[in-house]
Chains A and B, each alone.
Chain A
Amino acid sequence: MSTFRTGRDGSLLIGGTTAVKVRDWSLETTVELLNVNTIDSFANEFTPGVKGATGSATLMYYKGGVDDKDFSHLLTTILKTGSITDSVTLTLKVDNDAAIKFSAFITSASISVNNNELVVVPFNFTVNGDFSEDPVFYV
């Protein structure tokens, strides 16, 4: 259907399971541009280098049943003893037909606890490697 999309259509999957209490997500993809100017150039010229992507999301700390694992799964990839080894597979959905799937390292996560505010777990991630083989699809 030709229509706009809002956050109401979106979702976030962690390892294939839909996270239930997600407040927001965002993804920024960048590509390094290598300058190929020569001494006779009068305008910048570039060639594309390596691409990469970083992003963030905010989960709400929600205790009750199976939803517990949403944030705990993410937190334990960075908030743990020993070295960081595990990446997570994230799928960011704009709606059911538009999704971006990739492996990522959680680069930062925090729990903020304030009186009269919900406990939320904002975290940042960096995409590890390329997007999955058939990951970025917009139908």
Chain B
Amino acid sequence: MTFFLGTKGNVRLRRGTNTAVGSISASIDPGDVNVDVNRFAFTGATDNLLTGDRIDIATSDSRGIDFVPASHWSTNTTEDDISAFVNVDQADGVRLYPTLADAINDTRANEIALEAFTGSALSVTITVRDLAFNVLGNVTRYEFQNTREQIETTVLSDKYKQQFSAGLLSGSGRIECAFDYTSSGSQETPKLLLQLIQRLDLGCAFDLALYLTDQSVDLNVENIFYMLTAVVTNAGVSVEAGEIINCSIDFVTTGKVRLVLDRPSRYLLKEDTDKIGVEHSVDFLLR
């Protein structure tokens, strides 16, 4: 038997989980696109999009995503959908980036260029749909309880209480981490915990992988993690003089909860023994 410390654990999360309810419709006027700063705007952007979200923008308009130059796509033609990470400012302005780190840090040198378009407003559907799980930074502790609904089946003449053992499964938990709003790579910033609850129309569900032991932290341990979809019920921050700023979320699960003893989801199984690394960009998508 071996003892394991919490230092071998990890928290990974993926934004955007239910594409059926996780979409909003928007209308983009030609005047909403500012090509000088490569930024476009639509009503409700700040209410629903968070900086770092990977979004799909799709349109059924025959012009396609006309405010992005055709050179952005490998086909060199304007297509009717685009995937990118976003940086959202307080004026509903949205800037598109190819990577999470660029979006979070607003690295203007790497922003996706926009171009002006004419005619009527472009109706688009915007979906938050991140593909990858990102490590949540600065986590100090997490806890998770898996709960089975209790249904009593005691009948007359029983001498002991009887319980139905296949009631509904659910879970709840809490994540605490030291506050930070920057990201040097693919790590999610703790600031995200405070923002998730504020998605107005898209809702605050996200996919969560709670690692008890993570092979990327210690090669000598197996990957053992809870895989679930969480809905934020509480988000809070504690700011105290002389103390590190701490933020926390309480969540409940929605849908399936699994304890996985396996590879993380970003691995592809091959017939030979080497691995294909999935880069954290929007260019690796297979169509």
Q: Give chain B residues whose Cβ lies under 8 Å from the Cβ of A6.
A: 151, 164, 166-168
Q: Give chain B residues whose Cβ lies under 8 Å from the Cβ of A4.
A: 151, 153, 164, 166
CB pair B20–A3 under 8 Å, yes or no, is: no
CB pair A64–B20 under 8 Å, yes or no, is: yes
* A80 CB within 8 Å of chain B: no
CB pair B21–A64 under 8 Å, yes or no, is: yes
Contact residues of A between 1 and 23, Cβ < 8 Å to B: 3-4, 6, 8
Min CB–CB distance A1 → chain B (angstroms): 11
Q: How far is the CA of A64 from the CA of B164 in the complex (A)?
A: 34
Identify whether the interface residues of A are mostly helix, strand, loop, or mixed.
loop
Identify whether the interface residues of B are mostly helix, strand, loop, or mixed.
loop
Residues of B in contact, count (CB < 8 Å): 8
Q: How far is the CA of A8 from the CA of B149 in the complex (A)?
A: 12
Q: Give chain A residues whose Cβ lies under 8 Å from the Cβ of B151.
A: 4, 6
CB pair A8–B21 under 8 Å, yes or no, is: no
Q: How far is the CA of A8 from the CA of B151 in the complex (A)?
A: 13
Q: Give chain B residues whose Cβ lies under 8 Å from the Cβ of A65.
A: 20
Residues of A in contact, count (CB < 8 Å): 6
- Closest residue of chain B to A3, judged by CB? B166
Q: How far is the CA of A139 from the CA of B213 in the complex (A)?
A: 47
Min CB–CB distance A6 → chain B (angstroms): 7
Q: Give chain B residues whose Cβ lies under 8 Å from the Cβ of A8.
A: 166, 168
Q: Give chain A residues whose Cβ lies under 8 Å from the Cβ of B167.
A: 6
Q: How far is the CA of A6 from the CA of B168 in the complex (A)?
A: 9
Min CB–CB distance B129 → chain A (angstroms): 16
Q: Give chain B residues whose Cβ lies under 8 Å from the Cβ of A3.
A: 166
Min CB–CB distance A68 → chain B (angstroms): 12
Contact residues of A between 64 and 82, Cβ < 8 Å to B: 64-65
Q: Give chain A residues whose Cβ lies under 8 Å from the Cβ of B168.
A: 6, 8
Min CB–CB distance B197 → chain A (angstroms): 15
Contact residues of B between 1 and 58, Cβ < 8 Å to A: 20-21
Min CB–CB distance A20 → chain B (angstroms): 11
Min CB–CB distance A10 → chain B (angstroms): 13
- Closest residue of chain A to B23, judged by CB? A64
Q: How far is the CA of A8 from the CA of B21 in the complex (A)?
A: 23
The 5 A-B residue pairs whose C-beta atoms are closest, nearest first, are A4-B164, A64-B20, A4-B153, A8-B168, A6-B151
B contact residues vs A (CB 8 Å cutoff): 20-21, 151, 153, 164, 166-168
Instruction: Known pairs A3-B166, A4-B153, A6-B168; list 12 more (Cβ under 8 Å).
Output: A4-B151, A4-B164, A4-B166, A6-B151, A6-B164, A6-B166, A6-B167, A8-B166, A8-B168, A64-B20, A64-B21, A65-B20
